Structure 1
Amino acid sequence: MSHNDSGQAGLPASHFPVIRSIDAAAIPRWLAAGWRDCRRAGGASVFYGICFAAAGWLMYFVFAEAYALFAGLTTGFLLVGPFLAIGLYDLSRRIERGEPPRLGPTLAAWRANLPNVGLFAALLTIVLLIWARASMVVFALFFTGGLPTFADVVQSVLTFEQPEFSLVYFAVGGFFAAFVFGIGAISLPLMFDRKTDAVTAAIASLVVCGRNPGPMLLWAGSIVLLVGIGFATLFTGLVIATPLVGHATWHAYRDLVAEHEDAVPAAS
């Protein structure tokens, strides 16, 4: 999908975008477009994937013995992922515009709307820290037996060997994940692309999810599946999974948010 930048600079950051309705058939289209961007960006895209994987390996070596904290920080990848993928959004936009997908300029892509991107990143960080603490509390209250390894924890969760623990862990984690996905499904691409303020972008993301509940639920499940495969391969799979999700998210944003010339002012 092409994007027309003419006339965009005159729109204030508080202008609310027009949200489109989509169907579930859009999801494989986003993934296919994301994969094309991965291939065209080449090493620049892989660089971001390696950064995600390296962060996972670092957490494993530092926190593997603190299994409750490690589990919280690992799943917290899904909470801070939208911010960490800004460079991937920039690569996709450059490809879209016919520009060379060079790595260097994308490393500072967050500076395009620093105050609002920084505010949103701070919110994601706070949510991550709260979730990490909540994860430890759930382990302390509901996980029974001796001191487990991380593999024991994963097996217990996936096989429901301790159903009460698994249900509580999924319920609490699902609440945090739903909150972040709701406010972050398209907010960071929107802030990056149009210099939109953080509050308007978060509300727009909620409107996207509210208008397209089925497709967005499937999209969230697709992200969890792809990132879960990356976790299951001891983070090696993140080298491919995270760039694919990041590029696909850019195309999701393009499909879900109308062009600037269709935008209307936010309600006061």
Structure 2
Amino acid sequence: MAIFHVYSGATRTLQHPAIRRITVADVFDALRLGFDDFWEKPSHYVFLCLIYPIVGVLLITWTSGGNALQLIFPLMSGFALLGPFAGIGLYEISRRREQNLDTSWWHALDVRHSPAIPAMAVIGVMLLALFVAWLLVAQALYTWFYGPAAPQSMTSFLGDLFTTQRGWTLIVLGNLIGFLFALVVLCTTVVAFPLLLDCDVGAYAAIETSVRAVLGNPVPMLLWGLIVAVALLIGSLPLLAGLAIVIPVLGHATWHLYRKVVEIPVGMKTPLPPSLRKEDDGRFPYWLRW
């Protein structure tokens, strides 16, 4: 039943996967493996990853036309808070490649048949709530320094932002608060979605496992968060077009990071039949053909 899949998984008991200790070298190796997954058939991911920059451009257009220029940066940076949820399809592609199954792009949509979908949806709603909360905080911070009136133009707003004390104070406080939001997302979801895709442990166990993964590997995980932040910033510079490469690489790398950090006992997941390990007709996900 969905309620058990949300709280404690299909077994109706709370699971606590073991956490391995990893090093900084493991983080970079996960990034390398993610790039390998992307490089295998990069054309398959354009369909998925263009959604991210397109939505970003729409958000920028909306804020500009809606006289909300002060929210452009919070929207662009805060949209990354939804990244762990947006990468679910990429985790599935990496999972399938790992098991020598067909990795055609349409298999990214197979996740809709996963028994853990209710748990994924719950965590997705949590991320959406954090995204909205970040925007509200950003708007309140702007109002505190500049008042309720929106900026008259981008040029005047940027000029004031970088040449006045209140502008720099807004930049510093905004980034510090944004860092706290990003840290919450990192701690609660760094391995949550790959774990749910791999094992139906429930939303609570997935979040708890992510927190233990960060607490058990603080330096590597903080490095991973920094890599994600810098990569998203670089990908956003050329009118967000670079995200069509950055997002899939990070998505695939997240799957491999999960594999390095979380140790799943054999009894916690159902192995694929040997026939499906060798052959896959590419039409249906394995859990519908069991």
Query: Which of the five TM-score ranges fits, normalised by the shorter chain?
Result: 0.7 to 0.9
- CA drift of 1:246 comes to 0.4
Q: Is the counterpart of residue 204 in structure 1 residue 217 in structure 2?
A: no
Q: For residues 146 and 125 of structure 1, do their structure 2 counterparts lie closer, same or farther at Cα, with a shift above 3 Å needed?
A: closer
Distance 1:151 1:47 in 2: 38
Percentage of identical aligned residues: 27
The answer on whether the counterparts of 1:18 and 1:262 sit within 8 Å (CA) in structure 2 is: no
CA offsets per residue over residues 77-97 of structure 1, 9 Å max, x none? Answer: 221100010000001011111
Q: Which residue of 1 aligns with 2:81?
A: 79
- CA drift of 1:10 comes to 9.1
Contiguous gaps of at least 5 residues in structure 1: 1-8, 264-268
Q: For residues 150 and 96 of structure 1, do their structure 2 counterparts lie closer, same or farther at Cα, with a shift above 3 Å needed?
A: farther
Distance 1:224 1:143 in 2: 27
Q: For residues 28 and 209 of structure 1, do their structure 2 counterparts lie closer, same or farther at Cα, with a shift above 3 Å needed?
A: same
- CA drift of 1:14 comes to 2.4
What are the within-5 Å matches in structure 2 for residues 1-40 of structure 1?
A: 14-40=14-40
Q: How many residues align?
A: 255
The alignment's C-alpha RMSD in Å is 2.7
Q: Could you tell me which of 118, 121, 125 is aligned with 2:121?
A: 118
Q: Which residue of 1 aligns with 2:56?
A: 56
Q: Which residue of 2 aligns with 1:4?
A: none
What secondary structure does 2:33 align onto? helix
Larger radius of gyration: 2
- Farther-moved stretch of structure 1 (148-157 vs 66-75): 148-157
Distance 2:158 2:106 in 1: 40
The answer on whether the counterparts of 2:194 and 2:258 sit within 8 Å (CA) in structure 1 is: yes
The answer on whether the counterparts of 2:23 and 2:220 sit within 8 Å (CA) in structure 1 is: yes
- CA drift of 1:48 comes to 1.9
- Farther-moved stretch of structure 1 (254-263 vs 146-155): 146-155
Distance 1:192 1:44 in 2: 20
- CA drift of 1:151 comes to 9.8
Q: For residues 138 and 210 of structure 1, do their structure 2 counterparts lie closer, same or farther at Cα, with a shift above 3 Å needed?
A: same
Q: For residues 21 and 153 of structure 1, do their structure 2 counterparts lie closer, same or farther at Cα, with a shift above 3 Å needed?
A: farther
Q: For residues 154 and 207 of structure 1, do their structure 2 counterparts lie closer, same or farther at Cα, with a shift above 3 Å needed?
A: farther
CA offsets per residue over residues 66-120 of structure 1, 9 Å max, x none? Answer: 1223322211222110001000000101111111211223124144111101111
What secondary structure does 2:18 align onto? coil
Q: Which residue of 2 aligns with 1:130?
A: 133
- CA drift of 1:259 comes to 3.1
The answer on whether the counterparts of 1:31 and 1:244 sit within 8 Å (CA) in structure 2 is: yes
Q: Which residue of 2 aligns with 1:173?
A: 178
The answer on whether the counterparts of 2:68 and 2:151 sit within 8 Å (CA) in structure 1 is: no
The answer on whether the counterparts of 1:13 and 1:194 sit within 8 Å (CA) in structure 2 is: no
The answer on whether the counterparts of 2:145 and 2:166 sit within 8 Å (CA) in structure 1 is: no
Q: TM-score, normalised on structure 1? A: 0.86
Distance 2:151 2:60 in 1: 20
Q: Is the counterpart of residue 224 in structure 1 residue 226 in structure 2?
A: no
What are the within-5 Å matches in structure 2 for residues 65-104 of structure 1?
A: 65-104=67-106
What secondary structure does 2:122 align onto? helix
Distance 2:244 2:161 in 1: 27
What secondary structure does 1:166 align onto? helix
